[in-house]
Structure 1
Amino acid sequence: MTLNVDLAKTTGQASPPTQRVIAVMEMLGADPGRQFTLAEISRGLGISRATGHAILATLVAHEWVTRDPLSARYAWGPAIASLAKPADLFRDDLADLAAATGTQVYLARRDAGSLVIIDIAGETLAAPRIGRGTKTPFVAPFGRDYVAWSSPEVQQAWLEAIGQPSAALRGRISAVLNETRNRGFVVERLTREYLRVYSALQALSDDGEVDAITAQLARAFADLSVIDVLPDELGAGATHSIATVSAPIMTVDGVVTMSVTAAPFATLEASAITGLGDRVRATAAAIGERLNRYGDQA
C-alpha cells in the first residue's frame, strides 16, 4: 500500500514532523499483521530513509512499533492496544452527548449473560447513581437493543429464558422489536416498578448468571409493565415518564455488542423523546464507525 503525507492539507499550527509520525502509524495500523522494511515505509510515505529511521527508532523505544531483530522489519506495536480502550476512544462522544442532552450518558457492553457499563459521562440528578462495572442481566425485556437485529430464533430464546410468555407479552415484544429496528433506539419507561426491579436485577447479576429468581423477577416486570413506547403512543401532545433511551452499536457484520444510553429520568413530550432518541442513535453510529475502524481492544 502507499500512503502520502499531504502537508498542503495542514492548516494553522499543524506540525509536519507530527504528520509524518501519524502517517507511519496509519501505514502500519492499516495492516497490523504485516511487517514493513524501512525502505517500504520511506518510499510509501515519500520521506528520506534517515527521517524514517529516526521516527521508527523513537516509536520502537516506546513499543508503539516493533522491530524484528532478524529481518529488521517493522510492525504495529503492543503499546497501541493499551491506548485504544473504549473509555479513551469514545469518551469525547459520550461527553458531547451528555452536554447536548443534559443527561447522564453511559456506554455498555454485552458480556455473556450481563450488560456491563464500561464508561459514563454527565449527570442526571434524578437518576440513581450508576458506576462503571454496574451489571444488569441480559434477560427479557432488558437488552432489546441487542436482540432487535438478531434472528427470530435468538429473539425467541431471549424472550423464553424468563419462561413461556403470555400472548399479550409476546405480541408487545414483537411490535417493540420491529419498531426498534425501524427507529434505531429503545425507550425505557420510568415507573416505580422499573426502579425497584432494575435495582433488584443489578443485585442479582453480580455473578453474571441468570438464575430462576432473576428470570421470574424479569417476567413479572414484563407482565406488569408497558414495554417501550410505540408510534401510536407518541402522538402530538403526548407525554411519558422516561428513564432511559438507548441505541445499539453494531459491528460491520451487523452484530450488536455495545450500546449507548441517555438517562433523562423525566417526563418528556413525544417530540423530545424522538429527538433524544435520534441524538443517542447518532452517537452510537459515530462510536460504531470508530470501533469498526480501530477494532475492539477492550
Structure 2
Amino acid sequence: MAGRRDGAGASGAATARRSPPTERVVQVLDHLVARPGRRFGLSELARELDLSKPTCLGILTALTDAGYLIRDPIDKTYGLGPALIVAGRAAQRGFASGPVAHRHLTALSAEFGVMCTASAVVGDRIAILDVVGGTGSGAAARVGEVYPFAPPVGLMYVLWDTDDRIDRWLGREPTLPVSVDRVRLKAVIDECRRTGYLVESLTPGGRRPYALMAGVVSHDLAPEMREMLAELVSSPGERVVLPGTLGPDGTHRVNLIAAPVFDPDGHQSLVLALHLEREVDRAEIERCGRALVAAADAITADLGGRHAS
C-alpha cells in the first residue's frame, strides 16, 4: 500500500506540475514549425488545434510580440518569426553543423581578418545562423537577422543547386518589382559554378536598401516604399563581380565572397561568406575564394554531404 501511495503521489505531483496554458503555447508552435512554408489565420488555427478563438488570439499575440511569430498585416495570417532563428541558432550548437561550421568560420576569420558568416534558407526566409568576427553597430550581419527569400534577394542560396531550384526561386512572388536580365543571370551562374564561389560588390550605401528589408515580407512594405527600393535595388545577379567587370588595374570593391555547403542529397544547405568590405585585386579575390571553397567543402565532407551532380 505504501508503494502504491508513493507511486500515486509521484503521479499526482507530475500531473500537478503540468501547465495546460504552456502546453497550448507549445501546441501552437509545434503546429507552425511542422508546416514552415504555410501561414494560418486565427480561425483556421483555432479550429485545427481545438482552441477557443480568444485563447488562440492571446497566444498568437504574445508570440508575435516576442518575435516568435510574424503577422501579415494584409491577410492577417501568422507564420514563424525571427526570434525562432536566434533560439534555433543557440540550439544548433549542440548539433553537428553548428560546431563544424563555426570552427571553419573561426579559422577563416583569423586568416583574413574579416567577419565570416553562415546562413541558410529557413522556411520562406533567409536566416543568418552564425557570425564570427565583426561586432558592434557597424557589423554587416547579425545572428538572427532574416530576409525575404524571393527575387531580387537570395540568388546565392540556389546558385549551385539544380536549375529547377533556381527556376522555383525566380518564380516566387518578388519582394520588390525588379526585372530579371536572363542573359546576365546565365553568365553569373556559369561563372560561379566554374569557380565555386560568388563575388558580390555593394557599397555601404548600396547595402542600405537590403538592410531595410531585414525581418519583413513584401506585404509589410508600403507601396511607396516598395517602389523606392525597387529603383535602388539591382536585378538578381547584377551586383556579382565577373572577371570582365574588374577595373583597369584589376581591382574592384568587394563586400563579400560566398560559397556553398551541400547536404547528403546534394542540395545547398548553408552559404559561407567572407565579408571583405574593401577594394581587392584579382589575386586576392582568387585567394579568398579558394580558401572559402576549401572550408565549405570540408564542412560538406564532415557532415556527410555531397556536391550536386
TM-score range, shorter chain: 0.5 to 0.7
Q: Distance in 2 between matches of 1:224 and 1:151?
A: 17
1:238 aligns with 2:250: yes
Which residue in 2 is equivalent to 1:104?
115
Gaps of 5+ in 1: 1-80, 294-298
Task: Decide which structure has the larger Cα Rg and report it.
Answer: 1
Which residue in 2 is equivalent to 1:95?
106
1:124–1:263 contact (8 Å) kept in structure 2:
no
Shift in CA distance, 238/171, structure 1 to aligned 2, threshold 3 Å? same
1:291 aligns with 2:303: yes
Aligned pairs for 1:4-23 (under 5 A) are none
**Of 194, 200, 217, the match for 1:188:** 200
Q: Which amino acid aligns with 2:284?
A: A
Which residue in 1 is equivalent to 2:186?
174
1:122 aligns with 2:133: yes
Q: Which amino acid aligns with 1:114?
A: R
Shift in CA distance, 210/156, structure 1 to aligned 2, threshold 3 Å? farther
Q: Distance in 2 between matches of 1:272 and 1:124?
A: 24
Q: Distance in 1 between matches of 2:167 and 2:232?
A: 18
Q: Distance in 1 between matches of 2:99 and 2:282?
A: 34
**Of 141, 144, 166, the match for 1:155:** 166
Which residue in 1 is equivalent to 2:27?
none
Q: Distance in 2 between matches of 1:126 and 1:280?
A: 25
2:115–2:275 contact (8 Å) kept in structure 1:
yes
Q: Which amino acid aligns with 2:147?
A: T
What are the superposed Cα offsets for residues 171-225 of structure 1, whole Å, 9 maximum, x if unpaired? 2122111211111111221224432112111142xxxx45484976468512499
Please state whether the residue corresponding to 1:97 is helix, strand or coil. helix
What are the superposed Cα offsets for residues 249-270 of structure 1, whole Å, 9 maximum, x if unpaired? 1113220011111101111112
**Of 146, 161, 166, the match for 1:135:** 146
Q: Give, in angstroms, the shift of residue 143 of structure 1.
A: 2.5
Q: Which amino acid aligns with 1:143?
A: G
1:241–1:267 contact (8 Å) kept in structure 2:
yes
Q: Give, in angstroms, the shift of residue 165 of structure 1.
A: 5.7
1:271 aligns with 2:275: no
Q: Give, in angstroms, the shift of residue 87 of structure 1.
A: 2.9
- Normalising by structure 1, report the TM-score: 0.60
Q: Which amino acid aligns with 2:130?
A: D
Shift in CA distance, 223/146, structure 1 to aligned 2, threshold 3 Å? closer
- Normalising by structure 2, report the TM-score: 0.58
Gaps of 5+ in 2: 1-91
Shift in CA distance, 223/144, structure 1 to aligned 2, threshold 3 Å? closer
2:198–2:258 contact (8 Å) kept in structure 1:
yes
**Higher mean displacement: 214-223 or 182-191:** 214-223
Which residue in 1 is equivalent to 2:97?
86
Please state whether the residue corresponding to 1:245 is helix, strand or coil. strand
Shift in CA distance, 154/211, structure 1 to aligned 2, threshold 3 Å? farther
Q: Give, in angstroms, the shift of residue 245 of structure 1.
A: 0.8
Which residue in 2 is equivalent to 1:248?
260
Shift in CA distance, 147/129, structure 1 to aligned 2, threshold 3 Å? closer
2:185–2:236 contact (8 Å) kept in structure 1:
no
Q: Give, in angstroms, the shift of residue 288 of structure 1.
A: 1.2
Shift in CA distance, 95/268, structure 1 to aligned 2, threshold 3 Å? same
Supply the RMSD in Å over aligned alpha carbons. 3.1
Q: Distance in 2 between matches of 1:225 and 1:251?
A: 24
Q: Distance in 2 between matches of 1:136 and 1:91?
A: 21
